[in-house]
A and B are shown apart, each in its own frame.
Chain A
Amino acid sequence: MKARELSYTALLVASAIILGLFESLFPPLFTFAPGAKLGLANLITVIAMFTLSLPMTFLIILIRVLANALIGGTLFSLMYSLTGGIFSFLVMLLVKQLGAHRVSIIGISIMGGISHNFGQLTIASLVAQSLYTYNYLPFMSLAGIIAGFFVGLAGNYILIHIEQLGSSIRIKHY
């Protein structure tokens, strides 16, 4: 791996951790969906997906989740964000395969937001040993759509600017 790619990856990891911590300072945005967050750190996942290889993107998610759990989380918040993070990554990857002419970064991010919350509800459902947990799905999906939209919008702009920088970081166009 080139030093430039390594430092870029490290920069993304650091940004993801800071964004996660920054977000935890504020009260939850979605009062109608218990436990749902804006998920600013997912912005980094979206950027990584378009500029780095799959293993590196996965690594960024893992490090971000573990670091945030070590800094200010519990075992449950770790389980939550790990399942949500991995699940949303897989879904976003799948949606991305549709191609740039069919789905935009915003759409990919929205699907990521929804699946992230679905993953979290699954953990809640396992812990509570109750399928009723899924009754919150409409609220959680709505929160995921709103969060995913704004994260995707921001990701869209950032990726355009990364491209314009003319750096060695290239946007992978599917």
Chain B
Amino acid sequence: MQKLLKTLKPFDYILTAFALFLSFIPLILTLVHKQPHTNNIAVIKMNGDVVDQFVLSEDADRLEKTYYPAEGLYNTIEQVGDQIRVKADNSRNQIAVKTGWLSEVGDIAICLPHRFVVEVQGEKSFSEENLILPFF
């Protein structure tokens, strides 16, 4: 152990701590911009296009839906109340499935080989789209 501590140099600690600090910035920004007490929206994207949006509210019915991003590929999503997850897919690494339940703004499950994404957004993005600026 002492030999190991001797091997480590000052910048090992400085750089590691700095990099770790920097990596929290996106998460902090997301949390700061979070809208309080509105229902979040789960956005389903295939090949970069939005194909479905579900309101994640506590009294929502249980929902299960299967998407086919390409021939032979499938992704099944499941929504229970204000949570959503990729329940199953036939990708090799199952990364989106292992990501588990999503409920907070910024939660995202990505199945890269299928180009299938489930992303939780705040309700704000809806109203922003519908926002009409008054003429000055």
Contact = CB atoms under 8 A, between A and B. Distances in A.
Interface residues of A, number: 41
Contacts of A102: 9-11
Given A145-B16, A153-B4, 17 more contacts: A31-B98, A98-B11, A104-B12, A105-B7, A106-B7, A110-B12, A118-B23, A128-B117, A130-B45, A132-B30, A132-B119, A133-B110, A135-B27, A138-B23, A138-B27, A141-B20, A145-B20
What 8 pairs across the A-B complex have the smallest Cβ distances? A107-B12, A134-B26, A137-B23, A141-B23, A103-B11, A128-B117, A102-B11, A132-B106
B19 interface: yes
B20 A80 contact: no
A109 to B, nearest CB: 10
Interface residues of B, number: 36
Contacts of B11: 95, 98, 102-103, 107
A103 B9 contact: yes
A124 B120 CA distance: 16
Contact of B119 (A100, A104, A130, A137): A130
Interface of A: 28, 31, 34-35, 74, 76, 80, 95, 98, 100-107, 110-111, 114, 118, 123-124, 127-138, 140-142, 145, 153, 156
Contacts of A132: 30, 106-108, 119-120
Nearest to A117: B23
B45 A76 contact: no
Contact of A135 (B15, B26, B48, B96): B26
B35 interface: no
Interface string B107-124: 110101101010110000
A95 B19 CA distance: 12
Contacts of A34: 95-96, 98-99
